[in-house]
Amino acid sequence: MNTLELTLEVNGKQRTVTTWPAARLLDVLREDLGLTGTKEGCGEGECGACGVLLDGVLVNSCLVPAIQTQGRSVLTVEGLAADPRYAALLQAFREQGAAQCGSCTPGMLLAAAELLTSGVVPDERAVRQALAGNLCRCTGYTKIIAAVRAAAASLGGADGR
Ligand code: FES
Ligand code: FES
């Protein structure tokens, strides 16, 4: 059976895995690296549950062929949770009750992280746009949007990380 040897940076650490040539980034993260914080929802690029930052840009990891991540840098929710720059975002999600079942939460957090570091002034419209690719069946979105806005405010605006 053909295999693919892949070296990439995940959450600040160089990782090498041997996987299968058609693997998706999502498969490498969850199955090869055991980073199960990244969720699979639809598997078709529609729900955002599998969102990670690839070289700082939000992607749906279910749509990214692993081979395209050779030598690149990935941030997952595990890396986000360990990074003090995102502590205010996590705290805001807790305080606002923005997570219920939690399936969408990792993708929401990564989408919010991209927004908070983008230089865009995160008013409600910008937050809604940033999260437009992330579906939540539990919260009605209000608390999630409030949490991202609270995090932005506590960070001092658009680029307060
Ligand atoms: S699992 Fe990737 S977008 Fe839904
Ligand atoms: S908290 Fe359940 S899907 Fe969003």
| pLDDT by position in tens, the chain (length 161) | 799 999 999 999 999 999 999 999 999 999 999 999 999 999 999 999 999 999 999 999 999 999 999 999 999 999 999 999 999 999 999 999 999 999 999 999 999 999 999 877 789 999 999 999 999 999 999 999 999 999 999 887 544 33
CA angle in degrees (0–180, nearest 5) for 13-25-75: 40
User: Coil, strand or helix: which one is 8?
Assistant: strand
| 83-154 topology per CATH | DNA polymerase; domain 1 (1.10.150)
What does the DSSP 8-state code read for residue 68?
A: G
One DSSP character per residue, 69-138 reads GTT-EEE-HHHHHH-GGGHHHHHHHHHHT--SS-SSHHHHHHHHHHHHTTT----HHHHHHHTTT---SS
> Residue 70's pLDDT is what?
98
> Which residue's CA lies nearest to atom 1 of ligand 2?
100
> Residue 145's pLDDT is what?
97
User: Coil, strand or helix: which one is 152?
Assistant: helix
Domain 4-76 has CATH 3.10.20.30: yes
Q: Structural domain boundaries of the chain? A: 4-76, 83-154
> Which residue's CA lies nearest to atom 3 of ligand 2?
136
> Residue 33's pLDDT is what?
98
Task: Specify the ligand 2 atom closest to the Cα of 108.
Answer: 4
Distance 49 CA to ligand 2 centre (A): 9
> Residue 126's pLDDT is what?
94
In the chain the first and final C-alpha atoms are separated, in Å, by 45
Measured from CB, residues less than 6 Å from any atom of ligand 2 are: 99-105, 136-139
How many secondary structure helices (H) and strands (E) does the chain include?
6, 5
Entry pTM: 0.94
CA angle in degrees (0–180, nearest 5) for 45-130-154: 135
